[in-house]
């Protein structure tokens, strides 16, 4: 989920100045990548990306999330050079094609990331705020010990209520999502410990590196169910997804029936998208809920 242009630079503190201050290196060039991103070349030959943040808490949450993912020693992430109230500075990733070998490796590394665990469902990364974000949507990292109750109360229902309040979903349509939430204890499969999630693992946040290693960017990291990350990979299409899943299941087999639970785990990101982008995603969420309710 992308971010819009950030706040205006203050006192001439543009991307180059931010990169110089947070890396301690002289800047040799600045190239805009989008309205919210700029690539900055440093005098030691490296390149970094300066990303506009949607506020100080958003920058802090993303930086903490990247560091928490990196601490697992599993999937690679761009190194974080620092952040301020407006921007985040990370290493630039040289990208390459999504080969099968890289996909299998990514699957194994993602399994290792999840296995690194979290203190509780909803636990924020160390140093990360409780009031975090997924894309532009607020996301509260409130903890819980029981995944079905936590997922319903802190991931699905808050966005459903917002969608109803906004008129994107009618009260009558919301009933099917609420029924699925009530049935989560029977739909969720075997209980699992909290996994260390990327939390916003759609294809745009998976960078296939030129060196054959995947890097993950833009996390909404928290403790959750590992099938949620996998369901989000499937939601918007991921290159070599079959190979990613083969590598994952080779390292960490999934509980029986996981394919039937994909829609349950997709309810959260679909409702977030409904809140941010409107009725089309609400219809997808409702279709997924109806399918899950028939299980």
Q: How far is the CA of 171 from the CAs of 163, 175, 259, 270, in angstroms? A: 10, 7, 29, 17
Which of 13, 43, 84, 200 is catalytic? The answer is 200
Query: How far does Cα 113 stand from its chain's mean position?
Result: 13
Residue 200 bears catalytic tag: yes
Read off the tokens for 102: 């890289």
Apex 291 CA angle, 206 and 265, nearest 5 = 35
Is residue 111 within 8 Å of residue 252, measured between CB atoms? yes
- Of 151, 114, 141, 107, which Cα lies nearest the Cα of 242? 107
How far is Cα 103 from Cα 4, in angstroms, rounded to an integer? 30
Q: How far is the CA of 111 from the CAs of 50, 115, 179, 244, 274, in angstroms? A: 29, 6, 31, 10, 29
155-164 long-range Cβ contacts below 8 angstroms, 24+ apart: 155/224, 155/268, 156/180, 156/181, 156/267, 156/268, 156/271, 157/181, 159/268, 159/271, 159/272, 159/274, 159/275, 160/271, 162/275, 163/271, 163/274, 163/275, 163/282
Is residue 234 within 8 Å of residue 227, measured between CB atoms? no
State the CB neighbour count (10 A cutoff) for residue 187. Answer: 18
State the CB neighbour count (10 A cutoff) for residue 155. Answer: 28
Residue 292: partners with Cβ closer than 8 Å, 6 or more residues away: 180, 183, 187, 263, 264, 267
Q: Looking at the annotation, which residues are catalytic? A: 200
């Amino acid at each position: 989920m992308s971010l819009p242009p950030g706040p205006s630079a203050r006192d001439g503190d543009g991307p180059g100045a931010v990169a110089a201050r947070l890396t301690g290196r002289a800047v040799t060039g600045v190239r805009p990548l989008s309205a919210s991103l700029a690539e900055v070349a440093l005098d030691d030959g490296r390149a970094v990306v300066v990303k506009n943040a949607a506020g100080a808490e958003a920058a802090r949450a993303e930086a903490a999330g990247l560091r928490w993912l990196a601490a697992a020693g599993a999937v690679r992430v761009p190194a974080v050079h620092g952040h301020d109230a407006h921007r985040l500075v990370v290493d630039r990733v040289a990208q390459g094609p999504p080969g099968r070998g890289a996909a299998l490796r990514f699957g194994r590394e993602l399994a290792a990331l999840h296995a690194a665990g979290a203190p509780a469902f909803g636990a924020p990364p160390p140093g990360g705020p409780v009031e975090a974000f997924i894309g532009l949507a607020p996301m509260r990292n409130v903890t819980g010990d029981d995944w079905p109750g936590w997922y319903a109360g802190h991931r699905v229902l808050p966005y459903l209520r917002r969608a109803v309040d906004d008129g994107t979903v009618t009260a009558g349509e919301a009933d099917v999502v609420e029924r699925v939430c009530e049935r989560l204890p029977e739909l969720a499969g075997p209980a699992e410990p909290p996994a260390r999630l990327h939390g916003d693992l759609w294809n745009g946040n998976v960078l296939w590196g030129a060196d054959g290693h995947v890097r993950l960017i833009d996390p909404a990291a928290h403790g959750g169910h590992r099938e949620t990350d996998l369901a989000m990979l499937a939601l918007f299409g991921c290159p070599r997804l079959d190979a990613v899943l083969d590598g994952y299941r080779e390292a960490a087999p999934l509980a029986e029936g996981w394919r039937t639970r994909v829609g349950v785990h997709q309810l959260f990101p679909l409702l977030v998208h409904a809140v941010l982008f409107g009725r089309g995603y609400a219809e997808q969420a409702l279709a997924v809920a109806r399918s899950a309710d028939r299980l």
